[in-house]
């Protein structure tokens, strides 16, 4: 896994909304099963995207030279999409209460594990995942190397949900207070964290793709 894929996989992992959803579930009675279902749905979607990466990578001939013009242009397009999404989210936040959470989060307590599994499939940042796939496909990797990169991307991208769940298993007596503090912080700051995460990665992709287009 190269540095670009690592950075973007970490950006997926720190997406605040799914982490907040997982923490909210884990701080409710009997919420661990639902949080695990949320994690399973999230990881499944990332894995499906990863399988597509492996299949497409096997069909695309990638040279050992500079990245293709198409791949670089795709980076620019995906980066611009992320910037626009970040600015739209920021605009909505400024016109409302910066501490509010999405309406669907108020229904988490009443959701079944199957419902939270479906929610987990809906939450992954597909545009960012596509950027990860674009970077993996363009590399001169063997089939086993692509599979390895895919597995690492899924694991790293799921850490934001996996860590809170693991804490409740490893340190059950202390997890309540810790997750409660995370819940308060995330509810107060998720919008600003989301904005900066998305816009920084978006600008990174735009600059990276533009430089590669100039060099192509």
The boundaries of the domain holding residue 157 are 3-215
Residue pLDDT tens, the chain, 216 long: 678 889 999 999 999 999 999 999 998 877 899 999 999 999 999 989 888 877 766 665 444 444 578 888 989 999 999 999 999 888 877 766 545 677 778 788 888 999 999 999 999 989 888 888 888 877 777 778 888 888 899 999 999 999 999 999 998 888 888 999 999 999 888 989 999 999 999 999 999 999 988 886
Give residue for tokens 């409740």.
168
Q: Say how far apart CA 80 and CA 100 lie, in whole Å.
A: 27
Q: Say how far apart CA 51 and CA 58 lie, in whole Å.
A: 11
Structure tokens at 37: 């279902």
Q: Say how far apart CA 116 and CA 120 lie, in whole Å.
A: 6
Cβ neighbours, 10 Å, residue 18: 24
Please enumerate in sequence order all residues whose Cβ is within 8 A of that of 44, keeping only pairs 6 or more positions apart, or say none: 120, 121
What is the model's pLDDT at position 62?
A: 46
Q: Say how far apart CA 76 and CA 207 lie, in whole Å.
A: 7
Please enumerate in sequence order all residues whose Cβ is within 8 A of that of 126, keeping only pairs 6 or more positions apart, or say none: 49
What is the model's pLDDT at position 61?
A: 46
Number of domains in the chain: 1
DSSP 143-185: HHHHHHHHHHHHHHHTHHHHHHHHHHHHSHHHHHHHHHHHHHH
What is the model's pLDDT at position 97?
A: 52
């Amino acid at each position: 896994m190269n540095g670009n894929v690592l950075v973007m996989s970490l950006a997926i992992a720190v997406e605040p909304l799914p982490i907040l959803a997982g923490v909210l579930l884990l701080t409710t009675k009997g919420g661990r099963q639902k949080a695990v279902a949320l994690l399973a749905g999230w990881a499944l979607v990332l894995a499906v995207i990863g399988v597509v990466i492996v299949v497409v990578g096997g069909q695309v001939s990638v040279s050992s030279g500079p990245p293709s013009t198409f791949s670089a242009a795709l980076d620019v397009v995906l980066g611009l999409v992320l910037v626009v999404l970040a600015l739209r989210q920021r605009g909505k936040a400024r016109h409302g209460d910066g501490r509010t959470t999405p309406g669907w989060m108020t229904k988490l307590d009443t959701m079944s594990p199957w419902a939270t599994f479906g929610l987990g499939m809906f939450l992954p940042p597909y545009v960012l995942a596509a950027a990860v796939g674009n970077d993996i496909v363009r590399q001169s990797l063997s089939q086993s190397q692509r599979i390895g990169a895919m597995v690492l991307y899924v694991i790293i991208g799921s850490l934001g949900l996996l860590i809170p769940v693991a804490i409740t298993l490893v340190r059950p007596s202390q997890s309540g207070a810790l997750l409660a503090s995370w819940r308060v912080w995330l509810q107060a700051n998720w919008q600003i964290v989301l904005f900066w995460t998305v816009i920084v990665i978006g600008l990174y992709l735009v600059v990276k793709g533009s430089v590669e287009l100039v060099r192509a």
